[in-house]
């Protein structure tokens, strides 16, 4: 398997592989272009994102936005993110329709081995799925392998380490369900 195939499969891979490094640099260049675009030109900003992400219609991301590859990010219709969204997309990130993110949201499919020697040369990831009609408050972190069901609200500052069932309000570090909607 190539390093990219290993990465996409969630297996340990070498992130400094030439192909992966080139793809990350391409994504960073597009993010840079997006982040410097005139904030009043929404159509221009949307076109820049279409060259990076898999998006439906009515997607609005406020700058600054950062990602690793872009091609692993799928955004549904009517997506809005406030400032400073970071998505580390070494594996697939799927986000449903009618989703809102507060400022400073971090979504990371990437993780590292616990063994310090292995950590020097490899990393791996696990996909993240966020359903429809979800609201993530400001400063929420979503960790690798998490699924958040439809109609959920994740409170500001939460660190989501495990799946959240649909129609739940969840808060805290680690994030826990506090009530059903």
Does 112 qualify as catalytic in the annotation? yes
- Which one of 32, 58, 83, 112 is the catalytic residue? 112
Cβ burial of 157 (10 Å; 0-12, 13-18, 19+) is middle
Chain centre to alpha carbon of residue 159: 14
Three-state DSSP state, 19: helix
CA angle in degrees (0–180, nearest 5) for 53-28-58: 30
Alpha helical stretches, state H, the chain: 3-8, 18-36, 42-50, 116-119
Three-state DSSP state, 106: strand
Strand partners, 67: 87
Q: CB-based contacts of 71: which residues, under 8 Å, 6+ apart?
A: 23, 52, 53, 54, 89
Distance CA 39, CA 3 (A): 37
Catalytic residue set: 112
């Amino acid at each position: 398997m190539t390093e990219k195939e290993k990465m996409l499969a969630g297996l340990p891979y070498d992130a400094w592989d030439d192909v992966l490094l080139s793809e990350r640099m391409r994504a960073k260049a597009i993010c840079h272009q997006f982040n410097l675009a005139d904030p009043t030109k929404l159509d221009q900003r949307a076109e820049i994102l279409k060259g990076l992400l898999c998006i439906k219609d009515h997607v609005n991301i406020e700058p600054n936005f950062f990602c690793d590859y872009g091609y692993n990010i799928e955004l549904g219709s009517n997506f809005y993110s406030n400032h400073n969204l970071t998505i580390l997309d070494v594996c697939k990130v799927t986000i449903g329709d009618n989703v809102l993110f507060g400022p400073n949201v971090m979504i990371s499919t990437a993780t590292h081995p616990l063994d310090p020697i292995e950590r020097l040369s490899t990393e791996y990831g696990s996909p993240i799925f966020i359903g429809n009609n979800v609201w993530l408050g400001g400063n929420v972190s979503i960790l690798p392998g998490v699924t958040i069901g439809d109609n959920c609200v994740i409170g500001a500052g939460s660190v989501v380490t495990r799946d959240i069932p649909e129609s739940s309000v969840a808060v805290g570090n680690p994030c826990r369900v506090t009530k059903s909607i």
